[in-house]
């Protein structure tokens, strides 16, 4: 199992580094996002995780939608407007919707472990309560993902990184170029 983890990690490391080094992501890790920027990020995450959570996850504690809703509502209650789902996010959600469960698990691996590991470093640097990053059984959730993890997911995980990188590009662009627009997620 350890060799499997290493092989998948190595096969996706280039895209992982690329995603980590995106300007919007760097700004987030440095704790420099405004509330408006962070709300925009959370809305994109809600769309992605909402789609992934339409099918069973490897462990019940992995669910992120409730935490996302809490954090989004907290920021909306401060008078911010709901930002739109970005085109790159919509494309990723549409892509995820057409995948079989086995293929979706590669995206569960990518997205949920990012929140588990990266999110734990980031949760004190975000301009909200950070409920999105709070897990009831973090070790059990990680182990459940590790139990189903496969090296064969490398190509699909890299596709997920490509979508994530494009979402970060659009978040950075929208931060610099788009006025707040109202959009309903049905919250």
pLDDT in tens, 166-187: 999 999 999 877 544 444 455 5
- pTM of structure: 0.91
Tell me how far apart the 2 most distant CA atoms of the chain are, in Å.
49
* Opening angle at CA 51, ends 91 and 107, nearest 5: 80
The answer to whether the CB of 51 falls within 8 A of the CB of 93 is yes
Sign of CA dihedral 22, 25, 29, 32: positive
pLDDT in tens, 75-117: 999 999 999 999 999 999 999 999 999 999 999 999 999 999 9
Domains of the chain: 2-176 (1.20.910.10)
Where residue 186 falls (left for φ over 0; alpha for ψ -120 to 50; beta otherwise) is left
Average pLDDT, the chain: 92
> 13 is written with which tokens?
């490391």
């Amino acid at each position: 199992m350890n060799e499997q983890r290493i092989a998948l990690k190595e096969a996706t490391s280039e895209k992982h580094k690329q995603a980590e080094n995106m300007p919007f992501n760097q700004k987030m890790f440095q704790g420099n996002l405004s509330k408006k920027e962070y709300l925009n990020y959370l809305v994109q995450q809600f769309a992605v995780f909402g789609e992934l959570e339409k099918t069973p996850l490897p462990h019940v504690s992995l669910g992120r939608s409730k935490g996302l809703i809490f954090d989004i509502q907290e920021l909306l209650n401060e008078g911010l407007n709901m930002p739109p789902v970005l085109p790159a996010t919509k494309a990723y959600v549409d892509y995820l919707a057409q995948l079989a469960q086995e293929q979706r698990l590669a995206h569960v691996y990518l997205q949920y472990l990012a929140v588990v590991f990266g999110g734990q470093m980031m949760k004190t640097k975000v301009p909200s309560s950070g409920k999105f990053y709070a897990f009831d059984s973090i070790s059990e959730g990680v182990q459940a993902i590790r139990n189903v993890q496969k090296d064969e997911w490398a190509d699909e995980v890299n596709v997920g990184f490509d979508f994530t990188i494009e979402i970060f590009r659009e978040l950075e662009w929208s931060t610099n170029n788009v006025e707040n627009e109202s959009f309903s997620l049905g919250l």
